[in-house]
Structure 1
């Protein structure tokens, strides 16, 4: 029993953990860089030369489809003077990636092609001076990237997600729309809210009308850092499916007819971008209105969450609230999530070598 709150509760994380710059820097290195992170979807990379740019764990990166059909990820930085190489959100480059600053060029596999007009006596090893590569793998039409180039394969990292998702036709579903919002909320504040339905009756009347909230459950798989959320639906409809949260912030809501797939891009302590993509098997014009209604229904639940936890984050920042009590019955998944966030910072960090 923890003194002051009884045997049925545990202490929350200290409020300072959600606003501390130094702690966030460690989270970036030891959590965001170390895990596979959702970046894009494969339909955006149909042909060799197709690319997608974006931010991941605070880095500017891009993924490009190679001549061999493989998707590769690189830091979006020229090896000459650190210019961003690709500045559009998505597109298709020619046979070469040409820096817009001084015209250095790189092949689609990242190797240096030419240091333009550098002098006839200058020699650069194409591989040694190639682009800074990242780990990149695809799974069922989704593109994942890992900043730190060590660790388990994507399939190993996904673990039980692979079997949970197996019955759902993800590859047959096509991108329909997205919803992105930047909010003053820490990534842990968001994750904790996602992993409990203690608030559902007060906050989500629409969700409660479709799910049997009395039977809502979250199964925790700590060895895989995975949460399986489930509840019977009151009727056939939008909420029949499989709901998964893979630490630190991969969210998969899978249905026979479509998927809501989400992640967050942490932008600093107490700030993030929430990213939600909606996929449907039928994206014909005839289904556009119904698909939009489905996406809007999902987005409304997220809006309800973001509205309340933005206020939570303000209070975590203010300094009055220091920590609270978590219910082992209602918030056991929050307790597990917090433990993962703490233990990840206690593991040995990446090793530095003399060449660095």
Structure 2
């Protein structure tokens, strides 16, 4: 069997010709993160269905645990029947600075507690309500009844759960005092990190785009060493998908359901995709006529079968093996 490679293609004689073809075809970083800063929450108090007071609490730049003039506000005096609602000072400040209508604290990532006092005269009902949609992102806020020494009693309730209210009804003959602990705690956060490597094609690894989807959305590019990370992610369901034109990735994506711990060594390998186009005016080449895609550095065997006998002497020219 004799093969000669010419510019126009292969000149083949005989029943079958085979050839081995070796394919040697060769940030702006957007990270989901939590920003700690100022945030306010309002409580609306009604007494027997009528507006009574609006309280504010949260975190502000320059605020402290004590009364801060220009930031906090003192609570008004109680009604003639003794009805009142206010935040009690946690530092034991003297009257009137121990009863606040607005109670802001300094910006912090630590668990912070407010002390809410509700006083209701006999035969009355006071309702403290709030908009769950205004609670700070990245925090879990709760309320819990407390005893006279400010020890928590019973279950903690998430302020985001409905109904968004605390109702105090007094069916006794005396003034009723209720105490509540309002807490704000930073949600724990987690990270996803790993390394991206590329095989073939000559692309720069920093061109790879990694897309985070699910309970948060973000994109990032690896650094020059292929390292990437998504940080500040709350517990939840996420997917990470790498992409780069002309590359196939292993694995094609990773899922986390739920993400509840730091995930390291979440690596990806991008393999360059090579196209082999086959054209033939005669018979049945293998691979078949058309365009075929292979991983970089894949070795394939290409062949064409001629209908002519070896003794016939007829030659067929198959072109386009590229």
Name the TM-score class by shorter chain: under 0.3
More strand as a share of residues: 2
Report the structure, 1 or 2, having the larger helix content.
1
Q: Which has the larger radius of gyration?
A: 2
TM-score by length of 2: 0.19
TM-score (norm 1): 0.18
